[in-house]
Structure 1
Amino acid sequence: MTLIAPPFLQAGQRVAIVATARKISTAEVSFARQLLTSWGLEVILGESIGAAHYQFAGEDALRRRDLQRQLDDPGIRAILCAKGGYGTARLVDELDFSRFAESPKWLAGFSDITVLHSHLLRLGYQSIHSVMPGLFGKVGGEEAVQSLRRALFGEPLRYDAPAHPLNRPGTAQGELVGGNLSLLHTLTGTSSQASFAGRILFLEDLDEYLYHIDRMLLHLHRSGQLTGLAGLVVGHFSQMRDNAIPFGQTAYEIIDHYAQRYSFPVGYGFPTGHEADNQALIIGRGATLTVGPTGSHLLQ
């Protein structure tokens, strides 16, 4: 199946900011709204921005209605998810993508938004794994925001990572897939699970116990999801936790433990995930991964 790339943005077009998971105030997206406007875009705030239902940006029905409205509106050319957290998976089964299919548009975000990326990939559409409006203006994240602009407007994308002792050299080509490890693990066996076979998988995660990282990777391995990978890109694994009795391996060492069972190249330390430098990756677009003695490079 050939994946559909929505049209790249042009100045004067409208984009929407919505919250599919955790609540966020209008003040928290004000910087992003100003910046997007400076790019020549008209910014619409969805009704989920500023809404609250305990930790969520409004009840499920409100968040689903808001996202559905933006998916259906042909005048909205990109949907930027404002914040992650938890809650997107509660919406996805009742979304209707029939009008979206008539006028595809970019959807951007990361973390909990991995659910939508994987679901869109399963349906045959590209999307953008990137920093979210609630994090625009974060110190050290300037390049992350600019990489999102380049992705939205169709400029070339290149990502580099320094040499790492766990790197496994080689070259791989294939569509780029992946996102947050915890969410990819959760999607196993659902209608939102996408195949990794023949593709370059990228992974990142935050605030997980090391034994959880091992358990999730073991599940991906035992369920056959790592079989046939073209390559593996490893991003930020931030704020990892451990028990009083140490697990004995870092997150990268745990990944290496499973990667050694396969022959695909692996590059560690890419700028994607829960750090300020979270650069945009186009999920579903073809990519070339090169891992050599001086570092790793990913071209899209």
Structure 2
Amino acid sequence: MIKQPPYLKKGDKIAIVCPAKKLPNPIDKGIEILESWGLEVVLGETVSASHHQFSGSDELRAKDIQQFLDDASVKAIIAGRGGYGTIRIIDELDFTAFNANPKWLIGFSDITILLSHAFAKLNTQSIHGQMPYTFEESTPEALESLRKALFGENDTYSYESEVSGKDGAVEGVLVGGNLTLLLAVEGSVSEMDFEGKILFIEDVGEHEYSIDRMMRTLKRKGKLANLKGLVVGAFNELGEESIYFGQTPEEVIWEQVKAYDYPVCFGFPSGHIADNRAMVLGKSVSLFVEGKKVTLNYI
């Protein structure tokens, strides 16, 4: 049975840690917004630490998040930012206390490592959503979706895509995250099981050939054949090619899944964009796709 951490209420503590890259600027605005939701913000050492490109050494980053995994008074842990580095510490973390008393883990991008581990190893829900470093550039709708996810207010996302997908209506458990990081945990204890799930993917700064390779890798492993549905978020800031690859990210993805009999949508408002809507991984959702019209509803 999938475990759902207790939803937050006013007065609860939320800890900010940086499991990966260091913060280049203060996150005062992000802290202010979390406090405006009635939360007590606790800062880890890594928020102000620096070690090369990381927010402190591997040892410090592991110790920092560990203290909040173990602290029962902290009800949620949100990553200050992503970048790179979570995979360097994930196997050093002890989730014993967390597993006994689950709490919300929040972030996106490189934090997909942590979110995938929470679902794969601990069967626990988490939130793919904005982080304090991205709060200032976030749309109000994205921030509100994160607040609703944390406080247990079910949300509905409806939009019209620029690209048609495959029609259908399904219900299932939502999984996924950053495509590159999902591939990075393949074959490890942090690997998500996609079987019978609605898969969400997004990525940033990748070349079309890299997206093609990753999708073909998932297909060859049999991980795309038995999905309930596919939700494709933003694939933006593409790496420049000296010779045009010949397909857009959407066309690359479509080529690998078009033969399967499940709904597919593109342009979902989530990923490395300002309108990065919160995705509660491990939660049941309904997905409806009709032409370019898409609705995802938390059940």
Cα pair 2:164 2:292 within 8 Å, conserved: no
Q: Deviations over 1:205-226 (max 9, x none)?
A: 0000110000000000001111
Q: Which residue of 2 aligns with 1:22?
A: 21
Instruction: Give the distance between the partners of 1:275 and 1:166, measured in 2 at CA.
Output: 20
Q: Which residue of 2 aligns with 1:34?
A: 32
Q: Deviations over 1:24-82 (max 9, x none)?
A: 15x52111111111111110000111100110000000000001111110000000101
Q: Which residue of 2 aligns with 1:135?
A: 134
How many residue pairs get aligned? The number is: 297
Which aligned pairs between 1:1-300 and structure 2 lie closer than 5 A?
A: 2-24=1-23, 28-122=26-120, 123-138=122-137, 141-293=139-291, 295-300=293-298
Normalising by structure 2, report the TM-score.
0.97
Q: Deviations over 1:79-128 (max 9, x none)?
A: 01010110001111121111012211101000001001110001210000
Instruction: Give the distance between the partners of 2:183 and 2:158, measured in 1 at CA.
Output: 26
- Provide the alpha-carbon RMSD of the alignment: 1.1
Gaps spanning 5+ residues in structure 1: where? Answer: none
Instruction: Give the distance between the partners of 1:156 and 1:100, measured in 2 at CA.
Output: 24
Normalising by structure 1, report the TM-score.
0.97
Instruction: Give the distance between the partners of 1:286 and 1:228, measured in 2 at CA.
Output: 17
Tell me the secondary structure at the aligned position of residue 152 of structure 1: helix
Instruction: Give the distance between the partners of 1:36 and 1:191, measured in 2 at CA.
Output: 32
The structural deviation recorded for 1:166 is 3.2
Tell me the secondary structure at the aligned position of residue 49 of structure 2: coil
Tell me the secondary structure at the aligned position of residue 253 of structure 2: helix
- Residue identity over aligned pairs, in percent, reads 46
Which letter maps to 2:23?
I
Instruction: Give the distance between the partners of 1:94 and 1:207, measured in 2 at CA.
Output: 29
Tell me the secondary structure at the aligned position of residue 45 of structure 2: coil
Where has structure 1 moved over 2 Å in runs of 4 or more?
A: 163-166
Q: Deviations over 1:244-294 (max 9, x none)?
A: 221100001100010113111101111100000001010000011100135
The structural deviation recorded for 1:164 is 4.1
The structural deviation recorded for 1:163 is 4.0
